[in-house]
Structure 1
Amino acid sequence: MEVKASLKYARVGAQKARLVADLVRGKDVNEAVKTLTFLNKKTAGMVKKLIESAVANAEYKKVMDVDSLYVKAIWVDQGPVLKRFRPRAQGRAFGVRKKTSHINVVLEEK
């Protein structure tokens, strides 16, 4: 049995989020949370909260032992890009692309 959780439209680029996702893939849930607690990345807090949400889903379903969960799969997909303009000199405007991503996690019992 597996439990899932997802975070949609996270205001972080997919490439940056994948760096954090690669660190916790395959790890025990407690070890993954400890790793993310001390990681100095913006995405680390988002992924930590997402894993804790998946653990809460497992507790709510009461079908598996929470202490024996591990991160079976975690993947990051690219979300929509918010396009904004930044004023520049002499009346020009440069485009700014604010990237978003969708982060998904699947936990399973060992």
Structure 2
Amino acid sequence: MEAKAYLRYARVSPRKFKIVLDMIRNQPTDMAMAILRNTPKAVCEPLEKLLKSAVANAENNFGMDKNNLIVSECFVCPGPTLKRISPRAQGRAFRILKRTSHVTIAVKEKE
């Protein structure tokens, strides 16, 4: 049984999330929390909140022991892209893509 937590429409590129998610995958939750606290990336703050939410879901909804939890699954999917325009020379316009992300973290108990 897994407990999941979702972060939708985060205004950060999926590439940036993927770097940190690869570090915490298959780690115990306390170790994953320590990694997120000590990694100097901007995405660590929303991921830390998301991991806390997944642990709270496991504890309150499924009665799991929070000391035995591991990050079983974590992935990011691209959300909608906001398209903006930047003025350039000679009346041209270049497109700026502001990407968003949907992040999922699942935790389960160790066997």
TM bracket, shorter-chain basis: over 0.9
Compare 73-82 and 58-67 and name the one that shifted more: 58-67
TM-score relative to the length of structure 2:
0.92
In 2, Cα distance between equivalents of 1:44 and 1:67: 21
Q: How does 1:27-106 map to 2 (within 5 A)?
A: 27-61=27-61, 63-106=63-106
Q: How does 1:2-41 map to 2 (within 5 A)?
A: 2-41=2-41
In 2, Cα distance between equivalents of 1:83 and 1:44: 25
Unaligned 5+ runs, structure 1: none
In 1, Cα distance between equivalents of 2:10 and 2:101: 5
Unaligned 5+ runs, structure 2: none
In 1, Cα distance between equivalents of 2:29 and 2:49: 12
Deviation (angstroms), 1:24:
0.1
Contact 2:33 2:48 in 1 (8 A): yes
In 2, Cα distance between equivalents of 1:95 and 1:73: 35
In 2, Cα distance between equivalents of 1:54 and 1:85: 37
TM-score relative to the length of structure 1:
0.93
In 1, Cα distance between equivalents of 2:107 and 2:48: 13
CA deviations 1:23-56 (Å, max 9, x no partner) are 0000000110111011111111121111001111
In 2, Cα distance between equivalents of 1:89 and 1:45: 38
Compare 27-36 and 41-50 and name the one that shifted more: 41-50
Residues matched between the structures, number: 110
Percent sequence identity over aligned pairs: 45
Aligned alpha-carbon RMSD (Å): 1.2
